[in-house]
Amino acid sequence: MSLPLLLFFVFAFIAVVGAILLISAREPIHSALALIVVMVSLALVYVLLGAEFIAAVQIIVYAGAVMVLFVFVIMLLNAGQEERTDWSRMAKYAGIPLAVIFLFWIAHWMARAAVGAVAGYAPGESYVTPSTTADLSKLLFTSYLLPFEVTSILILIAILGALVLARKEDKA
């Protein structure tokens, strides 16, 4: 097994374990931490795929900014332990079989896609071309300019909305 493949399995395993912990942890802050683990290991998988820029942005934006706010809010509100109910009958009899079917379905499609992708390459050859930040930004500001600008307007609207909600009511 080559080193990148081995590393992929390590990080993928950590990501899955983190995701399971995220759901099963009872303390909100433990869940938040597990989510950070998932995001960081996903970023490392991106590095293995040659997408360094996406990996760095993933950590900066999600793990470094979004999750900091999550943790901040949990700390500020001093959220207590989650209350648990017993498993509902619906989850037991319909949920688990559906989840298993869904997993097999994904695995099936991934196996087919991987066979198609590997076909054209010699063994050991990397089948991803590393994308530089310059290439990415060129695409972003030419082919995908409209979606990019629309997204920025969307974020602006969100900021204005947050401002309006957070503003104190005028006393007059």
Partner 1 sequence: MEFITQHPVLVVSLVKIAVLLFVVMTALAYLTWFERKVVAHIQSRWGPYYVGAHGLLQPLADGLKFFFKEDLTPPASDRLIFTLAPMLALALALTAIALIPFGPPSIQVLGQPVFIVSNLGVGLLFLFAITSMGVYGIALAGWSSNSKYPLLGSLRSSAQMISYEVSLTLSVVGVVLMAGTFSFNGIIQAQSGAIWHWNVFGVRHGGITQVVGFLCYLIAAIAETNRIPFDLPEGETELVAGFHTEYSSFKFAMFFMAEYANMITVSCLATILFFGGWLSPFPGTWTWQNYLPGALLLLTGIYTAFDTFVVLRGIARLQFAVVTLLLLGGGVICLHPAVAPVIQGPFWFVSKVFVFIFLYVWIRGTLPRFRYDQLMSFGWKLLLPVSLANLVVTALVIVFPWLGAHG
Shortest Å distance, C-beta 22 to partner 1: 15
Which residues inside 38-57 make contact with partner 1, applying CB under 8 A? 40, 43, 52-53, 55-57
Three-state SS letters, the chain? CCHHHHHHHHHHHHHHHHHHHHHHCCCHHHHHHHHHHHHHHHHHHHHHCCCHHHHHHHHHHHHHHHHHHHHHHHHHHCCCCCCCCCCCHHHHHHHHHHHHHHHHHHHHHHHHHHHHHHCCCCCCCCCCCCCCHHHHHHHHHCCCHHHHHHHHHHHHHHHHHHHHHHCCCCCC
How many chain residues bind partner 1 (CB under 8 A)?
Answer: 27
Is 70 one of the binding residues for partner 1 (CB under 8 A)? Answer: no
- The answer to whether 35 and 26 have CB atoms below 8 angstroms apart is no
Rule CB under 8 A: is residue 72 a binding residue for partner 1? Answer: yes
Does residue 76 belong to the site contacting partner 1 (CB under 8 A)? yes
Minimum CB separation of residue 76 from partner 1 in Å reads 7
Least distance between partner 1 and beta carbon 108 (Å): 35
Identity of residue 137: S
Site for partner 1 contains 59 (CB under 8 A): yes
- Here the tokens at position 83 are 């209350």
The yes or no reply on residue 22 touching partner 1 (CB under 8 A) is: no
Distance CA 12, CA 45 (A): 7
Residue 75 in contact with partner 1, rule: CB under 8 A: yes
Task: Report if residue 133 touches partner 1, rule: CB under 8 A.
Answer: yes
| Smallest separation, CB 56 to partner 1 (Å) | 4
**Residue 55 C-beta: closest distance to partner 1, Å:** 8
Which residues here bind partner 1, judged by CB under 8 A?
A: 27, 29-30, 33, 36, 40, 43, 52-53, 55-57, 59-60, 63-65, 68-69, 71-72, 75-76, 130, 132-134
